[in-house]
Amino acid sequence: MPEKTSAPGKIILLGEHAVVYGIPAVAVPLSTLRVTVSWQKLESGDFQIIARDLKNQDITLTPNLDNEQNPLTRIVSSVLAYYNQKLPSVRFEITSDLPIASGLGSGAAVSTALGRAVANSIGEDIPNAILNEMVYNVEKIHHGTPSGIDNTVIVYEQSIKYKKDEPIESLRVHTPFTVLVADTGVTALTHQAVGDVRKLYQANQQRIQSIFNEIDSIVVTAIDYIGRGQIKELGKLMYQNHKLLQKLTVSSPKLDHLVEVALSEGALGAKLSGGGRGGNMIALVEEDMIDTVGNALSSAGATRVFHTDIK
């Protein structure tokens, strides 16, 4: 029987991109969509990673783990170095419910689940704080200058207020609410969008900083509303956040279209989520509007729509 580990996906409710510059952001785990890693000891002496859901990657690693730029080998070598262990003879198989490059945290979830599996395969249970640091370093390969929000929400599997270099705060939710997640079907590289925002920032620091400051006050107010159960007001802030993300050039015509469709069909708020330019958008809906708004998003071209409850 293979042993198993897993990690959830995530969505960012508010504050993406600005979070890279020290503004707080809110993220929640998607516990129903997961990356799973099954592992099995081998007699052959080989070390194998089979990752067909991730662009058909079948990797048979050499024992020196010399490819530091491959996220899979990097997390394996980090865990083994931490425990001062050699490469075990194990076959790891990665399966994923998460589309890649879509803002749902696929990269961090793969690193988290694989890191746990490697530790388990050598008889260790890796502490979250250690794993979080390792996954953050792998995120740098994907993203260049990640804020650390993805690895944190995924490793701890907790709804959080995240602010760079500050202790993680759990998000206090007064009244559970529902968010629809709709995929544009367009993949987009986060590091590209993050890089473009950096160029904007360097070219016009004052203007971009004032957008970040507006996002800051939206996030702080939204956290207060979530804590008080003021969900309608939260919806308005999500849309305001989307408008500011447009100014940062990280939206796209399809994201904008899905956001407008969700609002015109009765969502309380909507915005892109994550790196943007493609990937997923989210819409805050009352329970009796889940089907109406969800169907409208599908008809408007979303390739996958599901809902998640935030408690």
Nearest approach in angstroms of CB 114 to ligand PMV is 17
Burial code of 89-119, b = ≥16 C-beta within 10 A, e = fewer?
ebbbbbbbbbbebbbbbbbbbbbbbbbbbbb
H-only helix segments in the chain: 71-82, 106-121, 128-143, 149-156, 190-203, 205-228, 231-247, 253-264, 290-299
Nearest approach in angstroms of CB 84 to ligand PMV is 31
Q: Which is nearer to ligand PMV, 193 or 290 (CB)?
A: 193
Q: Is 256 among the catalytic positions?
A: no
Sign of CA dihedral 234, 237, 248, 25: negative
Contact at 8 Å (CB) between 311 and 176?
A: yes
Q: How many residues sit in the footprint of ligand PMV (CB under 6 A)?
A: 16
Q: Which is nearer to ligand PMV, 18 or 296 (CB)?
A: 18
CA distance 175 to 104: 24
Enumerate residues 100-119 that contact ligand PMV by CB under 6 A. 103, 105
Residue 169's SS3 state is strand
Of the candidates 219, 220, 237, 229, the one whose C-alpha atom is nearest the C-alpha of residue 176 is 229
CA distance 180 to 98: 15
Q: Which is nearer to ligand PMV, 90 or 281 (CB)?
A: 281
Q: Which is nearer to ligand PMV, 195 or 266 (CB)?
A: 195
What is the per-residue binding string for ligand PMV in 240-279, x denoting contact by CB under 6 A? ----------------------------------xx----
CA distance 163 to 161: 7
| Interaction between residue 157 and ligand PMV (CB under 6 A) | no
| Interaction between residue 282 and ligand PMV (CB under 6 A) | no
| Interaction between residue 9 and ligand PMV (CB under 6 A) | no
> What tokens were used for 124?
């260790």
| Interaction between residue 143 and ligand PMV (CB under 6 A) | yes
Task: Tell me which of 6, 8, 12, 121 binds ligand PMV, using CB under 6 A.
Answer: 12
* Count of residues in the chain: 311
What is the per-residue binding string for ligand PMV in 173-192, x denoting contact by CB under 6 A? -----------------x--
User: How many Cα atoms are found within 13 Å in the side-chain-facing hemisphere of 211?
Assistant: 23
Nearest approach in angstroms of CB 157 to ligand PMV is 16
Active-site entry in 53, 150, 183, 216: 150
What is the per-residue binding string for ligand PMV in 189-228, x denoting contact by CB under 6 A? -x---x----------------------------------
Q: Which of the stretches 11-19, 87-95, 218-226, 287-295 binds ligand PMV when contact is defined by CB under 6 A?
A: 11-19
Contact at 8 Å (CB) between 51 and 70?
A: no
Would you please indicate which residues are annotated as catalytic (active-site) residues?
Answer: 150
Contacts with ligand PMV, residue ranges (CB under 6 A): 12, 16-17, 19-20, 103, 105, 143, 146-147, 149-150, 190, 194, 274-275
